[in-house]
Each structure stands twice: as structure tokens, then as C-alpha cells.
């Protein structure tokens, strides 16, 4: 979305919230438009306008949206159905039923978020060896808690603007590299 496209969005908002926008100076409107353009750059203007209309259609407070509220609407419009923790556990439990001899094949069938929580096919193999009581209680509970945490972390990460995600990824890689370098240096001095 370009700065010019933001004008279309602001026209919709100004028409619906005239009292709020009439108090803004030209500089304030321009600065807000620049910020909106940077935050919504990867999105087509039609999608952003649809998200604004979605917000406005459900607004009961009478205040114009901040960019984060429109980003939330965008995610709702474009999001794929998220796997629930019980559904994820059901997939893992089914994979465990063939986990003794087919752990790798079963692991590969699982969604990436579930694979991340499990870590490796060997976890399926280990759980396949557990009794059903332990699998259905302690392990299920721990897995579902880990799944909730990871799903929330991924949702929050995906909510970041693409340029911020790219910066976070770059910093994460640098920190991981620095940690490995520091560990290698520490090993060499011991």
C-alpha cells in the first residue's frame, strides 16, 4: 500500500469519524499517513479498506481505529484456520500409535508447529512406549501447554509488520551465532 493508497483509507475513516479527524493538523494527518503506509505496505489497498470497513462495522465505541486494530482485522480476513491444542494432541496421539516403527514417517506428516514442539521423531517413539494412562494425562497436558505457548508466540510474531519480522530474524540469527561463538571460545579456554 502506498502513501496515496492511505488517502483512500483515511477518506473512509474521516467520513465515519469526522469529529476526530477535524481536530488534526495537516502535519499530523501527513505523519499518520506515512506511518500507516509503512505498516500496511505489503497489503493491497482493497484488503486494507475491507479491514477498515470490517472494524467500522463492528465498532461500538465510536473511536477511530489505531493501526494495530486494522492489522488484527487483516489477520482475521486472511488467516487460515488455526489448529486447536486438542486437535494437535489428537494428531500426535494418532502418530504415537504408529510411532514405534514409523516415527519418522509419522513425524513428517505433522504440521510444522507440532514438529517444533516434539523436536524430533524420537519423541514420538518414546511416547509410543509409554502407557496410555501417562500418555493421556501428563504427556497430553504438557504437550497442550507447550502447544498453546508456541501458537501464541507464532501468532504474535506473525502480527509484526514484515520489516520488523525480518529485523527480528536477523537479530535472532546474530544472537545465535554470537552464542555459538561465545561457547566455542569458552570451550577453548577450559
What is the per-residue pLDDT for 115? 96
**pLDDT band at residue 183 under the 50/70/90 scheme:** low
**pLDDT band at residue 184 under the 50/70/90 scheme:** low
Asked if the model's pLDDT at residue 190 lies above 70, the reply is no
Asked if the model's pLDDT at residue 67 lies above 70, the reply is yes
Total-model pTM: 0.63
Of the candidates 117, 115, 167, 168, which has an alpha carbon nearest to the alpha carbon of residue 143?
117
Across the range 85-96, mean pLDDT stands at 94
Across the range 15-44, mean pLDDT stands at 91
What's the rounded Cα separation, in Å, for the pair 28 and 89? 50
Across the range 170-181, mean pLDDT stands at 77
The segment with the largest mean pLDDT, out of 74-78, 91-95, 155-159, 170-174, is 91-95
For the chain, give the longest Cα–Cα distance.
69
Q: How far apart are the first and last CA of the chain?
A: 55
What's the rounded Cα separation, in Å, for the pair 27 and 38? 17
Amino acid at each position: 500500500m502506498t502513501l496515496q493508497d492511505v488517502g483512500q483509507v483515511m477518506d473512509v475513516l474521516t467520513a465515519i469519524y469526522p469529529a476526530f479527524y477535524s481536530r488534526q493538523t495537516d502535519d499530523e494527518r501527513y505523519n499518520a499517513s506515512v506511518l500507516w503506509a509503512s505498516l500496511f505496505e505489503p497489503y493491497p489497498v482493497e484488503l486494507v479498506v475491507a479491514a477498515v470497513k470490517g472494524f467500522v462495522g463492528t465498532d461500538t465505541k465510536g473511536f477511530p481505529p489505531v493501526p494495530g486494530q486494522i492489522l488484527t482485522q487483516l489477520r482475521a480476513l486472511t488467516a487460515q484456520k488455526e489448529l486447536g491444542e486438542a486437535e494437535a494432541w489428537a494428531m500426535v496421539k494418532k502418530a504415537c500409535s504408529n510411532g514405534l516403527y514409523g516415527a519418522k514417517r509419522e513425524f513428517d506428516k505433522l504440521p510444522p508447529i507440532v514438529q517444533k514442539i516434539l523436536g524430533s521423531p524420537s519423541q514420538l517413539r518414546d511416547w509410543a512406549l509409554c502407557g496410555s494412562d501417562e500418555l493421556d494425562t501428563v504427556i497430553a497436558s504438557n504437550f497442550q501447554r507447550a502447544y498453546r505457548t508456541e501458537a501464541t508466540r507464532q501468532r504474535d510474531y506473525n502480527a509484526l509488520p514484515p520489516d520488523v519480522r525480518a529485523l527480528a530474524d536477523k537479530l535472532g540469527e546474530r544472537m545465535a551465532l554470537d552464542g555459538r561463538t561465545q561457547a566455542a571460545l569458552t570451550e577453548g579456554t577450559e
